[in-house]
């Protein structure tokens, strides 16, 4: 069984993480996170959380498919971190 090998167990955890991140993405996309503003800051506050969670989901999907963390997973995760930092700056400046 695939889950019995170390790579298979990682794949399962990466898949569960990707599903959880996708659910959070959908929640933020449909319900929102309660932040609002105008202009460029408004766009960032409106879609920042969605983007962060979508990037995290993408990182985990790539890792789940490969069965291990990949360089592209790190790029997606770093993108999520940078977007989240930008989101927080815009939120605190609001």
Query: Using 50, 70 and 90 to split pLDDT, how confident is the model at 1?
Result: very low
Residue 39 has pLDDT above 70, yes or no: yes
User: Maximum CA pair distance of the chain?
Assistant: 52
- pLDDT on residue 4: 56
Backbone angles phi, psi at 38, to 5 degrees: -110, 165
- pLDDT on residue 35: 72
Beta strand ranges found along the chain (DSSP E): none
The whole-angstrom separation of Cα 9 and Cα 48 is 31
pTM value?
A: 0.86
The whole-angstrom separation of Cα 57 and Cα 41 is 24
């Amino acid at each position: 069984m695939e889950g019995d090998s170390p790579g298979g167990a990682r794949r399962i955890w990466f898949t569960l993480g990707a599903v959880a991140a996708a659910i959070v993405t959908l929640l933020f996309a449909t319900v929102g996170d309660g932040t609002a503003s105008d202009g460029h800051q408004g766009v960032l506050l409106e879609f920042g959380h969605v983007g962060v969670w979508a990037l995290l989901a993408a990182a985990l999907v790539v890792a789940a498919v490969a069965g291990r963390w990949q360089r592209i997973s790190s790029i997606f995760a770093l993108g999520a971190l940078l977007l989240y930092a930008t989101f927080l700056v815009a939120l605190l400046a609001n």
